[in-house]
Structure 1
Amino acid sequence: MKTPSQPPAIYYIVGLQIWEYFSFYGMRALLILYLTHQLRFDDGHAISLFSAYASLVYVTPIFGGWLADRFLGNRMAVISGALMMTLGHIVLGCAPDSLSGLYLALAIIICGYGLFKSNISCLLGELYTPDDRRRDGGFSLMYAAGNLGSVISPIACGLVAQRYGWHPGFTLAGIGMALGLLIFLTGQRHFRHTAGINKTGLRAINVVFPCWIWLTLALLSAPFFFVALLKYHLTGYLLLLVSLGAALLIVKMMLSAPEHRRELWQIVALMAVGMLFWVLAQQGGSSISLFIDRFVNRRWLGIEIPTALFQSVNAIAIIVAGALLGWLMRSSSPRSNGPAVWIKFIFGLLLMGCGFMLLAYNARNVGASGQASMGMMIAGLSIMGVSELFIDPIAMARITRLDIQGVTGVLTGIYMLATGALANWLAGVVATRAMAPQPNQTAISGYQHFFSRMGLWSLALVAIVAVIIAARYCFRRGNPKAQRREQAEKVNASGAAS
């Protein structure tokens, strides 16, 4: 049977997605190095700012999604977000080396990311009817395109920054975003059936003025709000408020659907463990990148490899391992029960711990030249990249299987908040405190101690999850009522699968 082709509009979304990932991950690969080399930030200050920026780009999509649903529509939100991100990257590339220019550029990118990130997925969803079998293939294509952009960007931007300077590297990221937007705009005729701007809503009077005036003021003032958060280290307070709101939403779900309370508690646990996993994984863009820059022998065939290029290792490992896992598991059952989910989480955490232990061993065995092995560094980063395949996809699959009307999207957003925004901010807190200089400790031994501690935390988390699974299993073995409930769940799951 011939597989139905995808709607033409998807290829313009894919083109935009490739270049959005190119711009975002290209700039991200340079940022921590720019802060420490060019602006002379100390490690603690650089990691704190990097983590605050990385966390805020996961908070703003909550507000961007609301604006798209109520006023802009997904297509206009995506265009507006891409324009703002292009502007932010160009400001970062063209502005002089000043804190004001840096904060403003990052704030504009944060706002643009908020309008873009969640709404491009929603726009893709508008291309299909609810029963269209092409939907899953379309989302897989968009995901693969993003990974392609994240592989290429650190290489391209890193090489340009090494040869021509930091600002040309940032500018290249902005040019990539502009190119993606241009590709998307050339295909607007294919998006005529998607939701447009809500003109009635924008014209409606709300507190004296029409909503479009309030929206314009909000978009113009939002960058300065985020400048203040970055400058005065207030990101944690915003995250606290948003997290309290998310917690109240989950409590409301449990009260309104008591029959699903057990499943919701499992998802809360997955969010908590996933957040701790990403606290470890997000060290790749900050503390690990600084270690590579200072202590890894990056010479290969007489050429010095730019530090930013190592950010591609993670994406390459995910693409290769993801394809291999997809091939190996192509005939396995799609159903995933509680224990299976946690076993996969354990495996992901175990791989993360092994990756950090390998980095610690590499730091310990620095030779007389004071440089660590590049091959061992790549191996450690690859293991850590593969570990991601056993966390987010598993958790997202479990969330989307929850049969409660109208909560899947909210829970997905809360999961992104926990594993994106909170994890990035906590990663900065952990790195700045755990890497604080100790008496009689050299810089290289400080990194060795930090990596060892991260590895031990990963393995301790493995042990905690394993103990909880074992206790749960023993409880069910000794509880006939729990056994009957589990059997009923298996029967229901089998019926749903068939």
Structure 2
Amino acid sequence: MLGNGLMPAPGARPSPRILFGHPPGLVLLFLVEMWERFSFYGMRAMLIVYMTAVVLPDAPTHVAGYQAVCALLHLDPAQAGTVRISSELYGVYSGFVYLTPLLGGLLADRLFGKRATIIGGGLLIVAGHLLLTTPRWFLAALLLIVVGTGGVKGNIAAQMADLYEPDDPRRERGFSIFYVGINIGATAAPLVCALLAERAGWNAAFMATSAGMILGLALYVLGARHLPERQAEWAASRGRRAVSGGHPAALLTVLSISSVFLWISYEQQANALVRWLGTGPSDIGMAWLQAIPPAMVLIGTPVLTLRWSAQARAGREPGPGTKMLIGAAIILAMQCLLGALSVVLGGRAPSPWLAALYFAGWEVGDLYFSPAAMGLFSRLARPGYESMTMAVWYLTIFAGNLASGWIGGMWGSVGISAYWLLIAALTAVGVAAMAICRPLIMRTPHAVVQDA
């Protein structure tokens, strides 16, 4: 019996259970992604402040490649100022870590396989984090992290999908559990790294992020033999092929466009919101707020997983389109709250507790949205293109990051209330596109499998 009480299709590959009725490979990928995300979010929480306080003041003469990067971004270092430069560099970096999974997916699907690509990417990430403590090689370190993340992100998510048959209804709930691993690392990272930066200095903080990636890589190497290499091999062994009705390319396009607008909202949390809540350009004391969203995942995921499992047994579990729309609507409500606070407070920053409410509410919406979207993208993947299809999901985050970095450069040049109301309006565009997308999702029989 499958974890939801359904019998597997005849001839299907057995799928053993170990965690909430899910395959044992889920435990390994859960732990690997936990440590990889500790590395990523620890660095992310410190990046804006580190650039502003340490790297940018002497960048024209002390950072290799700085002038060339500014030229590519059409920035004049003498006029742009550290706020705009750091915001755009942050947007480019955090965006490109979600673009390079396309390259990583291509390498995995067509040349090296997922395992080798993930291991190679992890080694590049470790090298990049170690270089960050040397300001001269700061930009080179970011490049290594960007390329390395491309080898890891999409392929880890694709291996998550490989754990399930195409018609296995546990897939979205499996991604929800996987999402917990991401957020354990993301919860601990801002707390640990900010404390180390304040008490022991930047070197100690970045060494901690390096250690996180090393642990994740070691776990993966030791346990990778328990993971299937390709989902396509399972389908071929059964003489079956997965098909999806409707127009998957059109569906993926609409989903992607709507998701971009939600990520614009999300990336403000480590950009403009950090500046608004901080007492000065070098203040890292409010970084603890970034631990709230992943903490909400740890609290909310078991509750939602148990609820959805019970609904599945009764045949009433919401479909991925409904989950995504609910999540997007909650995110919009939280962004409207932030805009309203900026108006009521006359541009003054809200109290930490009101900010914490925003962070917590935003992540409740994300609990509905992201796992359902990842599961849906993986279902729509063509055999042999699993990693690249998951990379398209990360491409939406890339576009959102780039847009967020560009919009963040407006901070200080427009009114604070106008800024946050603009972000709320852009989020509303994403929700409207999601509402348009939902009927198309409902008409797509994602789990239909027919004999070849």
TM-fit CA distance, 1:70: 3.0
Asked which structure has the greater CA Rg, the reply is 1
**8 Å Cα contact 2:327-2:364 kept in structure 1:** no
- In 2, the alpha carbon distance for the partners of 1:270 and 1:147 equals 23
Structure 1 distance, partners of 2:277, 2:392, is 33
Aligned residues: 391
Q: What per-residue deviation string (whole Å, max 9, x for no partner) do you get for residues 346-403 of structure 1? A: 623532433422552575374xxxx641111111222222222343344445555659
Encode CA deviations 1:174-227: one digit per residue, 9 max, x unaligned.
Answer: 012112223333446x449758xxxxxxxxxxxxxxxxxxxxxxxxxxxxxxxx
Residue 26 (structure 2) pairs with residue 26 (structure 1): no
Aligned pairs for 1:60-459 (under 5 A) are 60-93=100-133, 95=134, 97-98=135-136, 101-124=137-160, 139-187=175-223, 190-191=225-226, 194=229, 260-261=246-247, 264-294=249-279, 306-329=285-308, 330-331=310-311, 333-334=316-317, 336=319, 340=322, 343-344=325-326, 347-357=329-339, 359-361=341-343, 364=346, 366=348, 372-399=350-377, 411-417=389-395, 419-433=396-410, 435-437=411-413, 446-459=415-428
Aligned residue for 1:210? none
Counterpart AA for 1:293: G
SS in 2 for 1:38: helix
The alignment's TM-score, normalised by the length of structure 1, stands at 0.67
| CA drift at 1:8 | 5.9
In the alignment, is the contact (CA less than 8 A) between 1:354 and 1:383 conserved in 2? no
Q: Report the Cα offset of residue 55 of structure 1.
A: 0.9
Q: Deviations over 1:66-94 (max 9, x none)?
A: 2223332222222111111111111113x
- CA distance in structure 1 between the aligned counterparts of 2:328 and 2:161, rounded to whole angstroms: 32
Q: Between the two proteins, what is the percent identity of the paired residues?
A: 27
Query: Contact 1:359 / 1:380 at 8 angstroms: preserved in 2?
Result: no
**RMSD of Structure 2 on Structure 1 (CA):** 4.0
User: Normalising by the residue count of structure 2, what TM-score does the alignment of the two structures yield?
Assistant: 0.73
On the 8 A contact 2:244/2:448 being kept in 1, the answer is: no
Using a 3 Å threshold, how does the CA distance of structure 1 residues 277 and 352 change in structure 2: closer, same or farther? farther
d(CA) in 2 for partners of 1:342 and 1:452?
23
| Map of 2:236 onto structure 1 | none
**Distance in 1 (alpha carbons) for counterparts of 2:399 and 2:326:** 22
Deviations 1:420-453 (A, max 9, x none): 11110011111213x2425xxxxxxx43332233
The aligned residue for residue 48 of structure 1 is 88
Q: Residue 74 of structure 2 corresponds to which residue in structure 1?
A: none
Say whether residues 1:37 and 2:53 are aligned partners: yes
Amino acid at match of 1:377: A
* 1:6-65 deviation per Cα after TM superposition (whole angstroms, max 9, x unaligned): 466554443322110110110011001111222346111111000100111111111112
Change (3 A) 1:75 1:266: closer
Gaps of 5+ in 2: 4-15, 58-80, 231-242
Quick one: structure 1 residues 13 and 192, their matched pair in 2 at CA, closer, same or farther if it must change by over 3 Å? closer
Whole-angstrom CA distance in 1 between matches of 2:358 and 2:28: 36
CA 1:308–1:362 in structure 2 vs 1: closer, same or farther (change >3 Å)? farther
- CA, structure 1 residues 80+464, in 2 after alignment: closer, same or farther (shift >3 Å)? closer
**Is the alpha carbon distance of 1:392 and 1:313 closer, same or farther for their aligned partners in structure 2, counting shifts above 3 Å?**
same
1:139-188, CA deviations, whole angstroms, 9 ceiling, x for partnerless residues? Answer: 55433212111111111011001112222211110012112223333446
The alpha-carbon deviation at position 278 of structure 1 amounts to 1.2
Matched position secondary structure for 1:294: coil
SS in 1 for 2:311: coil
